Amino acid sequence: MSQKFNIFLRIYPGSVVGRALNASNFRSKKNHPFTRRKYMGGVPGSKIVKFTMGNTSRDYTHRLELINIKYVQIRHNALESARIAANRVLESNVGRENFMLKIVPFPHQVIRENRRVNVAQADRFQDGMKKAYGKPYAVAARIEKGKPIMVAEVDKENISFAREALKRAGAKFPSRTRIFVKPL
């Protein structure tokens, strides 16, 4: 470790070195949205495979909603992992024809990152925060307080399985969530 770096750590303890890719850096919405993809180059696609699963043509008796409690930004890989977790619980316990699961928000917001070099003598290669606009590397959905993130529709006897599925999906998100049950 160079002497210059040791002085930096003594002057600024708990500095932000090496924190570029943490999801907690992008959880809050601090700036205006970047959604016009035709003006940007190299925007990655969303990892969400399907937005609606199960049997959508049938009528169900109850609707369960996973409601967001804070004004937050959720990345596309968190939405996809929540979809997989909820779908796994519902398919194994209820069956593919006895539920409907839907992801409500669509990830429009483009997240940018100012990449850092983590090699010896990196100060020669990078500019630091000079012109630090960053390159697009992910997309996210901005979700208002009190809006649904996921919706599940089931019959009365399968409410407990749907509640467990949405509980597991809610654990994948960076904010707290609540589950509301409504009869249809």
Q: Which CATH number fits domain 42-183: 3.40.47.10, 2.40.260.10, 3.90.1170.10, 3.40.50.1700?
A: 3.90.1170.10
pLDDT at position 27 is 73
- Residues contacting residue 128 through CB under 8 Å, at least 6 positions apart: none
Domain parsing of the chain, residue ranges: 42-183
The residue ranges of the chain whose pLDDT is under 50 are: 1-2, 4-19
**167: enclosing H helix or E strand:** helix 159-170
pLDDT at position 129 is 74
pLDDT at position 15 is 46
Q: Considering only CA atoms, which of 131, 138, 143 is closest in space to residue 40?
A: 138
The position carrying tokens 């770096």 is 5
pLDDT digits (tens, 9 = 90+) for 55-73: 999 999 999 999 999 999 9
pLDDT at position 61 is 97
pLDDT at position 181 is 97
pLDDT at position 125 is 63
